[in-house]
Amino acid sequence: MTSPTQQQLYRFLEDRFTCAQACAECARACAVRASLLDPDGTEQQERVRRLGIMCAEVCDATCRTLSEQNGQDEDGIRVQLEWCRSVCLECAHAFDEHPGAESAAAVCRACAMACTDFMVALD
């Protein structure tokens, strides 16, 4: 087994940072969007609000996982990334159905793509 080159290591760290940054942006966007929805609104509004809150929490946890420098195992990181990707896509679909949430849906999709890209970098 060969060691990664310096360039490969830098690329890996850049991909990890890019993913963490996308997760942080998504967490903010989802928290803001969720705060704009009335908790006593329609059942559909409550569903979107709850998904926004869950997405914010998952993205925040993923960002923290990627930002920590302790020796996390690759499988654990991969599971976290897949969970984040899945929740982001579900939240984006919910935001698609909610007028005014288009930018938050786009941020969710960007985060899902960053998680996907980073999972590829782990291979």
Q: Give Cα separations from 78 to 15, 56, 89, 100, 120 (angstroms).
A: 14, 19, 17, 32, 10
Copy the structure tokens of residue 101.
């949430």
pTM for this entry: 0.89
Task: For residue 59, give the DSSP letter.
Answer: H
pLDDT per residue of the chain (123 residues) written in tens, 0 to 9: 556 688 877 888 888 899 999 999 999 999 999 998 887 888 888 889 999 999 999 999 999 988 886 667 888 889 999 999 999 999 999 999 888 899 999 999 999 999 999 999 887
Q: Looking at this protein, which amino acid is placed at residue 15?
A: D
First to last CA, the chain: 14
Q: Looking at this protein, which amino acid is placed at residue 20?
A: A
